Every structure is written in C-alpha cells, then in structure tokens.
Amino acid sequence: MAIIKKFRIKSFKNVNSVIEFENVSLSYGGRLILDNINFKINEGQIFGMLGPNGVGKSTIFNLITGLVKPKSGKIKIQSEEVTQYPIYLRTKKFKVGYVPQYGGYFNDLTLYENLKAISEIVIPNKNLRDERINFLISKFELDNLKDIKAKFLSGGQKKKLVIALSLLSDPKVLLLDECFAALDVLTIKMLQETIVKLQQENKITICICDHQARDLLACVDMAMILSNGKVVAQDSPSNLVKDINAKNAYFGESFKFN
Ligand SMILES: Nc1ncnc2c1ncn2[C@@H]1O[C@H](COP(=O)(O)OP(=O)(O)O)[C@@H](O)[C@H]1O
Ligand SMILES: [Mg+2]
C-alpha cells in the first residue's frame, strides 16, 4: 500500500507535549501489564502505538481517559498532571476524544439520530447542535446514509460514524483504538486519509494503535513499539523499521515497508 503521508512532517517546531507518560506501571491482579512506560505525544502529531494483542495498548488509552489508574508514575495532558483526575474532567478540560475499537454508537438509532443524541449531551447550545451535525455529515460525506440504522451500516461507515460522534465535542486530542481492524483495503485507505485530514485541517493531535504495522505506519509521524510491558523502540516509521530492538521484538527480519 502506498504511504498516505507522503509529506510527512519532519520536525515539530516549538513542540508542546499533549500527552506524556512518566514511569507509568500498571498491574491487573498482580500481573504486571505496563512496566515503567515513558513516552510523549507532541501537539499536532499523529502518534502510533504498535504491539501484539494483549500487550496493553487499550490499557494505555484507558489510562489517558482515566478509566483506570496506574500503580505508579505520572500521566500528563498538556503538561498538567492528571493522574488523579476523573474521566469527565480530562475529557472536558483537555478536550480528549475517544473512538473505541468496538461499538460506540446506538445500534437501533439512525446515523442522524446517533449524532443528534450525542450532540444533546456534549453541545449545550441548542442552536449550535444542528450546525455541528451538518458540518460533520458533509465532512464525512454521510448525507445519503443519514436515515439508515447504525446496525445496518458497513464496517467502514460505522467507523466514520463513531469518529464523527467523537468530533461533536470538537476534541483537541483524538484516541483511536484499532480503527483499521476488520476493514477492507479501500476502507482502510479512506480512514487513513480521514485521519491525516483531521490532523492537517482541524489541527487535532491523534493517537492510534494497532496490532499490525503496515496500515498504521502509513499514516503516522511517530510510533512506538510495545513488547512485554515495555516501550522497546520509538521513532519515525522509516527509522523504526530499521531499529534493531523493534525488529527483534516485533517486526522480525523480513518486514518491508513501502
Ligand atoms: N480490566 C481488566 N482486568 C484484568 N486484566 C485486564 C483488564 N483489561 C485488560 N486486561 C489484561 O491486560 C492485558 C492488556 O490488555 P489490552 O490493553 O486490552 O491489550 P491490547 O489492547 O494491546 O490488545 C491483557 O493481558 C488483558 O487480558
Ligand atoms: Mg486493544
């Protein structure tokens, strides 16, 4: 597959960190899942997390949103320590949007009704709701799907809907959990382009994770590899695939990118 980010942003001047993990560890039932994790996502970046199933990618999202708390370490959003902040505060104060791997919409509501229902929760000003919904419907070219129940949409259309739902509240940071999983090649390409547009046109900082490398590396600026609870490598896609630790822990010898 062609690289979506042909003009990958090489440097981020005067970078502000948007998400930062400092020595974060987490255990479930005595089992160490994340072991002293450190990483930083800079403003405006598309950042990728790669690692096998069960390594802790969704757990990292849960730590960012506040669904779970670390055993030790600090989590910062926009340089402010949020480790003890509840979910609603992180979402509201720092405008963090989240697109879960599964679901995230009401099956029996139409696409439009889904947008309307969530807009009523996240947009207090009634007059602005329709404006925002119409903007998103047009942005994602969902006009002809408005009256279809969400459960009858295709996988790619559902993903677009959930991303549109997450954008109702105008997030500054968007977390996408395995958003390419179980989608066909063309739909993945469409989503990759959507993600890059969100970065470039809407200036949203994006963090996506996947257990497979190719689709993710095609659209990120930076990525990290997780293995056995640790960050084993962190770099731009072109450097990462050459990294010896990344090869040993994740890519293997035969992986080729491009
Ligand atoms: N609430 C939980 N209670 C106990 N174990 C959990 C819980 N959530 C996740 N785990 C375990 O933590 C590990 C990491 O899970 P997860 O973050 O979902 O991995 P990934 O998203 O990388 O596939 C897995 O071994 C999983 O079984
Ligand atoms: Mg997961």
Options 3.30.870.10, 3.10.20.30, 3.40.50.300, 3.10.129.10; CATH of 15-95+173-250: 3.40.50.300
Ligand 1 atom nearest 226 alpha carbon: 22
Give the mutation target among 58, 59, 177 for probing the ligand 1 site: most ligand atoms within 8 A of CB: 59
The dihedral sign for the CA sequence 75, 78, 80, 86 = negative
Chain segment 30-43, per-residue pLDDT in tens: 999 999 999 999 99
**To which residue do tokens 């958003």 refer?**
179
Long-range contacts of 56-59 (CB under 8 A, 24+ apart): 56/26, 56/226, 56/229, 57/177, 57/178, 57/209, 57/210, 57/211, 57/226, 58/101, 58/177, 58/178, 58/209, 59/26, 59/33, 59/34
Higher pLDDT, 184 or 240: 240
Residue nearest atom 27 of ligand 1, based on CA coordinates: 54
Which atom of ligand 1 is least distant from the CA of 101?
21
CATH 3.40.50.300 range(s) for the chain read 15-95+173-250
pLDDT in tens, 111-145: 999 999 999 999 999 989 999 999 999 988 899 99
Report pLDDT for 31. 95
pLDDT of residue 149: 98
